[in-house]
């Protein structure tokens, strides 16, 4: 231990360590907690330490979002950001403005289109052609599961008729049978994430602009009490952005990354690796579609958004098995996006068929979203040592869509935190930001109350306690990146990452959890945000 590091004693009205204790004070040397106990005891044990008396009503471990996309939130700000666009004129004006500063024939990319604000079907191929027929234009949906392209972009992607769509993707058509510009799942994902040796269609802007935007996004996340997160889709573009931010001293949260599978070359080492600051923690792949978008792959038929009675399988069986085996045998963690119970069953079948990894260590494989489960699937997950990463706040934000697609009968199987915890699994907390707001306090409220935004209770059997919800968004998320030994509790040997709340959320009406304010956020004993 380097005794030249700064030493501080931190006190607060109430500290909930989430290890079964409630110490009055934390002693912090450098970034690490070295002692907990009474204020008198810590002051006596560590004489000369700087004393920090925190205001607020409750201190808890820093929130850790185990599945989100901050890099895409940052890159949207470098590209054409449609996050706040309302109405077609706002979209058109933003694209036209960018076209005036974009060289002839260069791509124009917009992100975060929400058709509910713009008008369903308004932004299509014809709409984008009226903006420009010279520039290839792609407008990415906020879900990242689909996009819209103009004629020039479709040509450059090699799409001329519906049959050009790859397996696991769709090219939608108008009433005449012509492509209308809408690209679903792999029809969009393959041009965006083509893999090693191929160029993405999405220009990322200057490195300086990327880091500036990332730093702004990280400050916004700190304001919500987030101290760590796992970025669930990264390629070399995003890796370089995070590395540049770290090297410039501008990466304030702790970041883990999931490398998109087409960029995995079989190497056991996945750079960069700055332990507990920036690391590539696994390899991401996508097996089915979206829960709220009605494209996940289910055992029971349902009126899906695909126009059929089920969702989409993104990777073929052969592709999926080969990729999982390659990652597993390299001793790396697999993180599979699987929402529907049929997709989850496929993941379990494939992982159960594998032998031990090359070095014999448990890989800690993850199921991203893991949205629709039953007792048998949960039992099998525990047997295989898998980590579910379900949505924290989707019941709150998307309860209406969930009921519309999957029906009343499925409500206690969706985002089933109670069942997953009772099944003995380490459950991680996630937002999928920027697809939905990143606020962990709203997620905690959603997990505790199971109430939708319009006040309807969805799946009351899946309610959990406030302290359990806190465990999900702290220690559970740390487990999902292999860092449970150093993050998620306020105990000796753990990193001094914590958040100060202005109310004690364990003692208020749970419907008020989401309105609780963050007073300050601390990473490694340093304040990274203050109200």
**Residue at a domain's end among 471, 486, 501:** 486
* 15 DSSP assignment: B
Residue 160 domain boundaries? 80-192
Q: What is the per-residue pLDDT for 359?
A: 59
HSE-CB for 298 with a 13 A CA cutoff? 26
Q: Give the angle 226-247-191 at the CA atoms, nearest 5°.
A: 75
CA distance 305 to 386: 29
Q: Tell me whether residue 264 is in a domain.
A: yes
| CB atoms closer than 10 angstroms to residue 427 | 31
Cα separation values, 374 from 29, 303, 382, 413, Å: 45, 21, 13, 6
Q: Are 284 and 267 in contact (CB under 8 A)?
A: no
**Helix/strand/coil for 241:** helix
Q: Are 27 and 5 in contact (CB under 8 A)?
A: no
Q: Tell me whether residue 316 is in a domain.
A: yes
Q: What is the per-residue pLDDT for 457?
A: 97
Residue among 372, 433, 446, 472 nearest 67 (CA) = 433
Sheet with 25-29, strands from edge to edge, namely 32-37, 25-29, 7-11, 50-53
Domain with residue 145: its CATH number is 3.10.310.70
413 Cβ partners below 8 Å, 6+ apart?
A: 341, 372, 373, 374, 419, 459
Q: Given CA atoms 253, 254, 259, 260 in this order, what sign does their dihedral have?
A: negative
103 Cβ partners below 8 Å, 6+ apart?
A: none
Give the distance from CA 212 to its chain's centroid. Answer: 21
CA distance 372 to 391: 11
> Do residues 374 and 277 share a domain?
yes
**Helix/strand/coil for 112:** strand
| CB atoms closer than 10 angstroms to residue 294 | 18
> Do residues 223 and 274 share a domain?
yes
> Do residues 222 and 171 share a domain?
no
> Do residues 224 and 172 share a domain?
no
Q: Are 465 and 413 in contact (CB under 8 A)?
A: no
> Do residues 123 and 264 share a domain?
no
Q: Tell me whether residue 51 is in a domain.
A: no
Q: What is the per-residue pLDDT for 120?
A: 81
**Residue at a domain's end among 447, 462, 486:** 486
Q: Are 440 and 228 in contact (CB under 8 A)?
A: no
**Helix/strand/coil for 162:** helix
Residue among 499, 493, 455, 495 nearest 473 (CA) = 499
Q: Given CA atoms 269, 271, 272, 276 in this order, what sign does their dihedral have?
A: negative
Q: Tell me whether residue 271 is in a domain.
A: yes
What pLDDT tens digit does each residue of the chain (531 aa) get?
456 789 999 999 999 999 999 999 999 999 999 999 999 999 999 999 999 999 999 999 999 999 999 999 999 999 999 999 999 999 999 999 999 999 999 999 999 999 889 988 899 999 999 999 999 999 999 999 999 999 999 999 999 999 999 999 999 999 999 999 999 999 999 999 999 989 999 999 999 999 999 999 999 999 999 999 999 999 999 999 999 999 999 999 999 999 999 999 987 677 777 889 999 999 999 999 999 999 999 999 999 998 899 999 999 999 999 999 999 999 899 999 999 999 999 999 999 999 776 655 557 999 999 999 999 999 999 999 999 999 999 999 999 999 999 999 999 999 999 999 999 999 999 999 999 999 999 999 999 999 999 999 999 999 999 999 999 999 999 999 999 999 999 999 999 999 999 999 999 999 999 999 999 999 999 999 999
How many domains does the chain fold into? 2
Q: Are 221 and 204 in contact (CB under 8 A)?
A: no
Q: Tell me whether residue 98 is in a domain.
A: yes
Q: Are 484 and 427 in contact (CB under 8 A)?
A: no
> Do residues 179 and 266 share a domain?
no
> Do residues 181 and 293 share a domain?
no
State the pTM of this model: 0.95
CA distance 9 to 15: 13
* 461 DSSP assignment: G
CA distance 344 to 170: 22
CA distance 76 to 144: 11
Burial 210-245 (b: 16+ CB within 10 A, else e): bbbbbbebbeebbbbbbbbbbbbbbbebbbbbbbbb
> Do residues 185 and 274 share a domain?
no
Q: Tell me whether residue 47 is in a domain.
A: no
Q: Tell me whether residue 241 is in a domain.
A: yes
CA distance 307 to 184: 13
> Do residues 179 and 263 share a domain?
no
Q: What is the per-residue pLDDT for 1?
A: 44
Q: Given CA atoms 455, 459, 461, 463 in this order, what sign does their dihedral have?
A: negative
CA distance 149 to 413: 36
Q: Are 83 and 76 in contact (CB under 8 A)?
A: yes
CA distance 174 to 127: 13
Q: Given CA atoms 234, 235, 236, 238 in this order, what sign does their dihedral have?
A: negative
> Do residues 376 and 256 share a domain?
yes
CA distance 522 to 496: 7
Residue among 515, 364, 438 nearest 64 (CA) = 438
Q: Tell me whether residue 23 is in a domain.
A: no
> Do residues 271 and 359 share a domain?
yes
- Indicate the burial class of 273 (C-beta count within 10 angstroms; 0-12, 13-18, 19 or more): exposed
> Do residues 157 and 291 share a domain?
no
CA distance 354 to 363: 12
User: Euclidean distance between the first and final Cα of the chain, in Å?
Assistant: 33
Domain with residue 451: its CATH number is 3.20.20.140
Which bin fits 497, alpha (ψ -120 to 50), beta or left (φ > 0)? Answer: beta
């Amino acid at each position: 231990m380097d005794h030249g590091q700064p030493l501080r004693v931190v006190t607060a009205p109430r500290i909930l360590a989430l290890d079964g204790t409630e110490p009055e004070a934390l002693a912090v040397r450098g970034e690490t907690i070295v002692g907990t106990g009474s204020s008198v005891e810590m002051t006596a044990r560590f004489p000369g330490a700087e004393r920090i008396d925190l205001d607020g009503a409750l201190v808890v471990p820093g929130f850790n979002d185990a599945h989100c996309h901050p890099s895409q939130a940052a890159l949207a700000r470098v590209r054409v950001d449609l996050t706040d666009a309302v109405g077609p004129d706002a979209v058109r004006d933003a694209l036209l403005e960018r076209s005036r500063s974009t060289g002839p024939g260069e791509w124009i990319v917009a992100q975060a289109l929400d058709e509910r604000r713009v008008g369903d079907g308004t932004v299509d191929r014809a709409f984008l052609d009226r903006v420009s027929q010279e520039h290839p234009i792609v407008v990415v949906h906020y879900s990242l599961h689909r996009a819209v392209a103009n004629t020039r972009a479709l040509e450059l992607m090699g799409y001329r008729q519906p049959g050009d769509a790859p397996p696991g993707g769709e090219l939608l058509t108008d009433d005449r049978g012509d492509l209308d510009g809408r690209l679903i799942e792999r029809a969009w994902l393959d041009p965006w994430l083509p893999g090693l040796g191929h160029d993405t269609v999405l220009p990322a802007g200057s490195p300086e602009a990327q880091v500036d935007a990332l730093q702004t996004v990280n400050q916004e996340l700190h304001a919500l009490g987030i101290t760590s997160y796992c970025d669930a889709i990264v390629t070399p573009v995003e890796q370089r952005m995070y590395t540049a931010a770290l090297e410039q001293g501008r990466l304030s949260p702790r970041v883990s990354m999931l490398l998109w599978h087409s960029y995995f070359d079989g190497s056991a080492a996945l750079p960069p690796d700055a332990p507990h600051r920036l690391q590539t923690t696994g390899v991401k792949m996508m097996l089915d579609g979206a829960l709220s978008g009605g494209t996940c792959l289910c055992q029971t038929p349902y009126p899906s958004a695909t126009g059929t009675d089920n969702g989409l399988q993104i990777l073929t069986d052969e592709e999926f098995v080969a990729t999982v085996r390659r990652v597993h045998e390299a001793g790396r963690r697999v993180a599979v996006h699987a929402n529907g119970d049929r997709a989850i069953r496929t993941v379990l079948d494939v992982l159960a068929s594998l032998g031990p990894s090359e070095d014999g260590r448990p890989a800690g494989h993850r199921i991203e979203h893991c949205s629709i489960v039953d007792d048998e699937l949960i039992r099998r997950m525990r047997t295989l040592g898998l980590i579910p990463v379900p949505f924290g706040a989707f019941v709150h934000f998307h309860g209406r869509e969930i009921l519309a697609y999957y029906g009343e009968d499925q409500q206690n199987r969706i985002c089933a935190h109670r069942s997953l915890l009772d099944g003995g699994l380490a459950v991680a907390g996630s937002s999928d930001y920027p697809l939905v707001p990143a606020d962990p306090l709203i997620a905690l409220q959603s997990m505790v109350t199971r109430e939708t935004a319009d006040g309807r209770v969805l799946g009351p059997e899946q309610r959990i306690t406030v302290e359990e919800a806190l465990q999900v968004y702290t220690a559970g998320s740390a487990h999902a990146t292999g860092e449970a030994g150093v993050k998620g509790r306020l105990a000796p040997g753990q990193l001094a990452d914590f958040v100060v709340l202005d109310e004690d959320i364990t003692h208020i009406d749970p419907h008020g959890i989401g309105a609780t304010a963050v007073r300050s956020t601390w990473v490694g004993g340093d304040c990274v945000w203050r109200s």
